[in-house]
Amino acid sequence: MDSIITLNPGDPATVGVSITGGVLHFTFGIPQGTEGPQGGDGAQGPPFANAVVDGVTTVPAGTPANVGVSFDGTDVHFSFDLPQGDPGEQGPAGEVSQGDLENAINYQTSNNTDAVSAAGVYVSDPPTQGEVQQIVDKLDELIQALKR
């Protein structure tokens, strides 16, 4: 068979035969059918409850982005291939002013905790209210020293 040709609706079907070197060659002309009436609405398809992202993969810069989609009968599954961006240009090195340095030291670091001495409290079993108060006082002193 060499070819099949679609003919207009209503045209008669055709067939051509030739022999070349002892081989039969067929060519068919088949008319297209006429358009039928509109069919009714089909049955409601299955609902799906979730759209699931199965994965996001970073692919090399310059690679086209790609989205894979599949349906397992309940969930729509997505997988994404996203190209990595090209690296940007490095900006100039910055400098820190004396004021910025002092502000960072004064407001972003704790006060000197070296001034807080060890508790040095002996705790009896059960502890007395006075021993517990000494621990609380030492903890308050440390918290105040650590505040920024």
The domains of the chain are located at 1-33, 50-83, 119-148
Using CA atoms, how far residue 128 sits from 26, 117, 125, 139, 142, in Å, is 111, 22, 8, 17, 22
Q: What is the pLDDT of residues 7-57, one digit of tens each?
A: 999 899 999 999 988 888 899 999 999 888 999 999 887 676 688 899 999
Instruction: Look at residue 27 in the predicted model and tell me its pLDDT.
Output: 92
Using CA atoms, how far residue 59 sits from 24, 45, 55, 66, 96, in Å, is 53, 36, 12, 10, 38
Using CA atoms, how far residue 108 sits from 103, 140, 145, in Å, is 7, 20, 13
Q: What is the pLDDT of residues 64-121, one digit of tens each?
A: 899 999 888 788 889 999 999 888 888 778 888 888 888 877 766 666 676 777 888 7
Q: Determine the Cα angle at 32 with ends 26 and 33, to 5°.
A: 130
Q: CA 1, CA 89: separation in Å to the nearest integer?
A: 63
